[in-house]
Every structure is written in C-alpha cells, then in structure tokens.
Structure 1
Amino acid sequence: MVDIEQINPRNQAALRAWWEVGHAATADRPGNPWPAWEQTRVSLPADNPEGAVTVLAAIDGREMVGAGLLMRPLRDNLHTATVDAYVRPDRTGEGIGRRIVEELEVVAAGDGRRTLHGEVFVPPGATGTAPEAFAAAMRYDVASREAIRELRVDDYLSRHDRLVEETALGAAYRVVTFDTVCPEEHVASFGRLLGTLFDEIPLGDLELRASAWTPERIRDAEQRQVGIGRHVLTALAIAPDGSVAGSSDVRVNETDTAQGQVGITIVDPAHRGRRLGLALKLATHDLALATYPVLERVETSNAEVNTHMNAVNDALGYRTIETLLELQKRTA
C-alpha cells in the first residue's frame, strides 16, 4: 500500500530521499535537469518571500517511490499554483503519479488556487509520448511550447569576438553588470522593467498577469538568492536618459559552478531593434565566465514562437536539446 504524505523539507533525511526520487526520475533527460543535492538541501527549506511550497512523498513501506512539489506565488498571480510529480523509474505505471498530482490539487484548492500549471519535457519534435499522455489523462492542456537549449562554452568562445564587433552599442547605451544586487541608482527603473515581463514575453494560453516590482521586493528577492548561494549575474542596458532599457542574467549556483542557467531577458519595446538583447547576453555570459572559469555549459528556454530571442540564441551557439510543454488546468 503506497501512502501519500507531506514531508518537512527541513528534515534532511526525508528531503534527501525525496531528492533521490527526482534525480532518478529525470536521469534519462539531456542536460542538467535536476539540481545538485547541495543546492536542494539549502534552497528548498529556505524562506521564500515570493512563494510557498508543499513537499509530498509517496511511500511504500520504508521506501520513497514518488515525489511531489506544489509551489504557490505569494506576491502576484494568487490564483495559480505549479504542480510537479516524479515517480521512481521502477515504479511507473502503478498510478503513483496520478495520486501525487491529485493530492497536490487538493492542497492547491484549499489555498484558493484555481489555475494549475505544470511541465512535461519531451525530445525535440516528438509527439504521443508518455508524459503527454499522462498530462492529458490528468486534464492538463498544453498552453505553451518552449525550446530547452544548451550552450557549450567552447562553441560560445568560437563566436565571441565576431559577435562583439557586430553588437557595438556606440555612445547611445551603456551596459552595467552586477552580481545579484542591483546598484541603488538603477533599482527603481529595473523594477519598472521587470513589472512588464508578463506583458512582453510570449505566454501562449498561460493565465499569468503582470506584477509590480518595487525596490523593496527586489531587495527581498536578492537577499534570498544570496542566502541560498545563487549568483544572478546581471547586465542592464542603460538608455541615454538613464533609464533601464533592457536586462538579462545568467544564474550560477555555488554548488555547481560548471552549469549556468539564463533567467530573464527583456528589452523595453521602446528600445528594440538595436541588438540590445544580444549585447546583454554577451555581457552576462562574459561575466559568468570571468567569475567562474570552470563554467562548461549554460541552459536557457524560450517560447518556440519567440523568433527574435531564438535567433539571438542561435547566434550565441545554443542548440535545442528538449521541448518543454507548459501545461495548464482550470479547476473552476
């Protein structure tokens, strides 16, 4: 008899067993799909002003055979929650994943969350896969498609000098870089730009609403990143009037400095057409390499319909390794 139980992420033994399930469940995927244990050990139990988490485990006797995670935003989009479920590979096909998702949905409903999001990952171009069938059986619709892409540092360096020449910004814009903590003189304008994110990026049918990023909220988020050992290596494009015209970042965890992850890249519509996106990505990747010479690869994801950003990633040397299907289910 498999029991579904909530576990305390501060219980290190239970969290390690939970992590092992997720690690095994994602082992056949390309890239680095599962965080290192040392990062999970620190980040999952840590207080997060942006979101609340519920951690579930499927337990058969003394063994953990399934893992679930519910994430609920606390600052905006309070109608939503994100559902993740993992099953140990030797226990798939037994209905364990269904029971985990159903229990996470109960928790979400109790918190008033009526729009649920999830993710499945499939090989590029694949259709009719088992993850898709599971999502459909749980009544989750595909709301958006993204390409998961990987950049090898050697490929990037072989293109670097030519791209720098092509994206010289001249005197009109300057680029400011920083590690995690935004300079005080730019924080308000940076927050204004972040607040437009969900209005500017392709979301497909995902029900997500724009939010306000005050200086206080930015500082809270920065403090969490510092606390869990995640470095958000950021570049801002500063317009002639001093406002933040664009931003991009690469995130590197202290526990795995060979791997980076692109976070947010956005350019104000009023400043597009000047290759700021490419210039900002060059600046963040250069900063990441200067800070972490052992960096080997960087991953990113973009909506398949985002032709401009996909062209930028092509120029940098990114190659598609997976397709992410972003899922949505309305419960009311």
Structure 2
Amino acid sequence: MTTLHTVEPENTTGEAAALFTATHQALGVVPNLARVMANSPPVLKGYVAGVTALGAEGTLPAAVRESIALLVAQENRSDYCLSVHTFRATRTAGLTAADATRARRGEADDPWAAAVLDLAAVMVRDRGTTTDEQLSAARRAGLSDGQIVEVVAHVALNVFTTYLATTARLDIDWPLVRHTDRGDMGTTSRSTTDTTDTTTKANPLPTSPRLDPLHHVSPAEAIAWHRVVAASTAHDLPGVPAPDPGQIHAQLTRPALGSHRLNWLAADTDGTPVGVAGLRLFDSPGQAHLAELELHVDPAHRRRGTGSLLLSAVVAACRSENRRSLVVTATADGPGEAFGERRGFRRALTLNHLLLSLDEADGADLLRLADAEHAGYRLTAWAGTVPDDLADAFAAAKNAMNDMPVGDLAYGSVAWDADRVRAMAAVVADRGDTLLTVAAVHDDGTMAGYTEILIPRGAPPRVQQYDTAVVPGHRGHGLGLWVKAAMVRRLRAEYPGVVEIETDNADDNAHMLAVNHRLGFRPYRRTREFQLDVPTA
C-alpha cells in the first residue's frame, strides 16, 4: 500500500492541474509516481521539465533513454520503475523483450548504445565516480561531452524516481515486471546451508497485452472487435444494444465521409481480444486538425494497462498525422470519463440522449403535427441519395448545421455541396444502412429544414436520429417539429418493425430539446464529449 499521499488529478485546480496536464503530455499518462510527486509541485514541475527537455532537445534516442532507465531500475531493485520502463521500452521506444532484458544487464547490440550503458552502469554502481579511462572509452565509442552530460542527467533522474517509488511503496499501475523476474539474467542456485529451493523462475518481461494495428480488417478480426465492444457495452451501458458483427465489419472497413481510419486490437498472451481502439482522422478542410477516438476494454481485463497502451498508440498516431485535437465520447460519470480525465482529456460538451417509444407515443397528436399547414412550405421525402433537383438546396441546408451547439469542442466546420451530400449517402449505403430524410421546402425552392433517420443494417428495432436542422432565415415557424413529426409518421407507415428512435441534444440546445420533449422523447442517458489537446512531438 502506498505510504505517501497520492494527489488525484480530478481534485486539482490551477497550477497543480496544469502540472498534471504537462505530465500527461510528457509521459502519455498520469502514473501513480506523478501523483505522489505532486505532493511537492516544484518537484513535479522540475521533473516534468527535465524529462520534456531531454526528450525534445537531447541527443540520446528514445531506445537508449529507456535502456538507461531499465538499467537503473534493475540496479536499484525498483519493480515500479522496471514495470514502467519495460512497458515504455517495448511499446513506444522500439525495443524487443530481449533488448529490454539486455538493457537491464547494461548490454546492447549496438556498439554506441552499449558504450552509453557501460558508462551509465559505472555511474549508478559507483555513485557517479568514473575513471579517466572510462571517460576515454566513452569518447572513443563516439560520445561527445554533451552526451556524457546527458547520460549523467538520465541516470540522476532515474535514480530519483526509483528512490521515490521505493520510499512511497507505490501501487504498480503498469503491467508488472519484478526485478527478480530475471529471464535469462540469473542462474539456478541452491544455498549450501539451506535446502530451500531458491530457483528463479523465468517469466516473460512484457506482461502487457500484444497490440496489433489492423491494416486490412478480416472477418475474424471484426468478430474479435465485436466481442470486446459487446462486453464493454453490456457492462457500461446496460440496455443499450451493441452493434452486430456485420455492422462492426462495415464500420471498420468503410470509413465515414471525409475521413480515414486507423484501428488497433489488443490481445492477451493466449490470443484473447481484450481491447480495441479506432481513430477517425478527418480529412476535410476545416477539420484537418481533428481526430475522433473510440476505445473499449473488456471489463474482465481492465486495470492491466490495456487502455493506456491503446491510448498511447492513438496519441502517437495523432502526432504523426499532425492532429492537435482528439475528441472522444464517454458515458457521464462512467469509467471511461474517469479514465480520460486522468489522462488529460477535458470535458467539453454534455449530451442528453433521449428515446421515443413509437408504441407509447400519442399517435393522434403526432398525426396532427405532421398534417399541420405551414403557409409557404411543403414537405418532401426520400431514401438514400437526395434527388438531383434538390441536391444544391439540401447542401445549402446542411451548412446550417455549422452553428449547432458544440460546447468547447474544437470541432471545426464542414462546407457542404451537392457532391458531398451524394457522397455521404453513398457511404451510408455502402455500409448496408438506410438513410431516410424528410425536408421542408419553401415556395422559392429553398430547403428550409430537414431531419434524417439512420436505419442500421439488419433493420433493428431501434433507429438513430441523424441531423435535424432549420436554416436560420426560416426559424420560428415550427418547421423542426413539423419535419420530425412527419418522419415519425413515415416510420410507422413504412417500417413497422421500428419501435424506438434514439437522439441526442447538447445541454444548451434548449430549442431542440423542447421539440423532442413535445414529440414524446424521454430522457434515457447522458454522455460527455471530451477533448485532448494533443501534445506536439
């Protein structure tokens, strides 16, 4: 049990909160070590500044920096720091498990890296004392005096963290590696004065899941992805239907409009899928800064570093793709929210999810609303791609969505034209889904408002509300209520298997919330949108 107080990021404000954000940017997570370090903000501030400066401006490669950390952790018998740096070395710095084992002994295949570790080993074992010959050997191997100073700095930083981790008796929040888990580092021995077996059993160093990017998603990989999502959804969102394997495969293989997608699958050592992450990278002008995250971990495999492993890969991809904003949706007050906030995501928008039960809705009232006269306007409807004669007007109406409430999200804007609305319908159809639209058209040919419903492939009983918008110059005439009531009438007539509509509205979208309540929608659940300001590489 930790012997020093741990400072929780969610309970901090001001400089302390800023320090935790800086810690996340430097390390990718806010580990227990940083939470103990935060008892002294100047210490945390100095440590983060040192790590950041050496990583960004120093000359030692990441693999060598992590190798020094592994050597120091092994020498100082710090299981906490061994766990941290085995994870980082094998998952972010490019070392193999065998490389990490050799680094703990102070060995490396590369002669220059081996010279660095020789020097670091002398420093940590002899408390900084070095001979002239040892320094000369380092120089002959190619180290400059500046690099020798950097080696001293890395040894000192890692001695500090091993000492603090040991003093605090930190709970290990990384995949566990013990200094006694020596692999091929040790030998079998038996005391001559004791018959107790002291054989050190070899354990594989990386105990974290294997992470694989999915470049071409196979049906088997889609099934593995579905298994994780279904388990996560059942645990975190009881009563919410999970997508079926076919929907998952379509989602993974057919990117949404104006974007491309990266996917990762985490599996246990026996091949069991334990976590997934999908990253949507927006390509359209006005949104090229933006990426959107989906991350699930099977509840049976949580708190083992899988989520952190996936998030580290996602953040690295955002950096390489020059994305500065990463957004994600999490259930309000759920485990995903806590996970994100600990890792530097900030709350940006709250969404109210509502359900309309078509069996319980007042059918007569809905018919009155749908049949009501609206002078100067007429209703029209289509399935799939917009008719050619309405394409330009529909694109203009789509642009009205750019003023929808988005809270503090840096969501950017999208410019719609006829080609884009056709492309959107094609993407939906390619996934096997059905897109229904009801629109209000003014006598002058302008599309004044519209609403869209998505029927997922397989025609499940619950459908999803897509956009509903009224063009600013036509607001105040009840058009939003009109088109939505007409859509409900259409669903009842054409899709009798549909029994529920799910929609969501931002907390501050008072008008659309009022429209939905008038139609009979009832509160169902709440989610929050979070945003991470992606640190630059």
Q: TM-score, normalised by structure 1?
A: 0.93
Offset of residue 12 of structure 1:
1.0
Tell me which residue corresponds to 1:192.
396
Structure with more contact order per residue of length (Cα contacts < 8 Å, sep ≥ 6): 1
Counterpart of 1:136, as a letter, is E
Q: Check 1:90–1:252 CA distance in 2 against 1; reply closer, same or farther (3 A cut).
A: same
When Rg is computed on C-alpha atoms for both structures, the one with the higher figure is: 2
Query: 1:102 aligned to 2:328?
Result: no
How many residue pairs get matched?
A: 324
Asked if 1 retains the 8 angstrom alpha-carbon contact of 2:382 and 2:437, the reply is yes
Unaligned runs of 5+ in 2: 1-206
**Structure ranking higher in strand proportion:** 1
Offset of residue 207 of structure 1:
0.8
Q: Check 1:140–1:33 CA distance in 2 against 1; reply closer, same or farther (3 A cut).
A: farther
Tell me which residue corresponds to 2:428.
225
Query: 1:114 aligned to 2:318?
Result: no
Deviations 1:259-313 (A, max 9, x none): 2100000001111111111111112222223222111111101101111111111
Distance, in Å, in 2 between the alignment partners of 1:34 and 1:234 is: 24
Offset of residue 147 of structure 1:
0.5
User: Structure 2 matches for 1:253-272, cutoff 5 A?
Assistant: 253-272=456-475
Tell me which residue corresponds to 2:478.
275
Query: Which one of the candidate residues 306, 312, 320 is aligned to 2:515?
Result: 312
Offset of residue 242 of structure 1:
1.0
Distance, in Å, in 2 between the alignment partners of 1:261 and 1:165 is: 23
Distance, in Å, in 1 between the alignment partners of 2:369 and 2:486 is: 14
Asked if 1 retains the 8 angstrom alpha-carbon contact of 2:366 and 2:489, the reply is no
Asked if 1 retains the 8 angstrom alpha-carbon contact of 2:349 and 2:529, the reply is yes
Unaligned runs of 5+ in 1: none
Distance, in Å, in 1 between the alignment partners of 2:257 and 2:292 is: 16
Q: Check 1:19–1:71 CA distance in 2 against 1; reply closer, same or farther (3 A cut).
A: same
Q: Check 1:144–1:161 CA distance in 2 against 1; reply closer, same or farther (3 A cut).
A: same
Query: Which one of the candidate residues 260, 264, 268 is aligned to 1:60?
Result: 268
More displaced stretch, 146-155 vs 48-57 = 48-57
Q: Check 1:56–1:30 CA distance in 2 against 1; reply closer, same or farther (3 A cut).
A: same
RMSD: 1.6
Query: 1:150 aligned to 2:355?
Result: yes
Deviations 1:196-246 (A, max 9, x none): 312x21110011222211111111111122222211110111012110000
Tell me which residue corresponds to 2:339.
134
**Structure ranking higher in helix proportion:** 2
Query: Which one of the candidate residues 278, 283, 288 is aligned to 1:78?
Result: 288
Counterpart of 1:69, as a letter, is G
Asked if 1 retains the 8 angstrom alpha-carbon contact of 2:369 and 2:482, the reply is no
Distance, in Å, in 2 between the alignment partners of 1:169 and 1:144 is: 36
Distance, in Å, in 1 between the alignment partners of 2:216 and 2:504 is: 28
Asked if 2 retains the 8 angstrom alpha-carbon contact of 1:302 and 1:309, the reply is yes
Counterpart of 2:300, as a letter, is D
Query: 1:5 aligned to 2:212?
Result: yes
Query: 1:42 aligned to 2:253?
Result: no
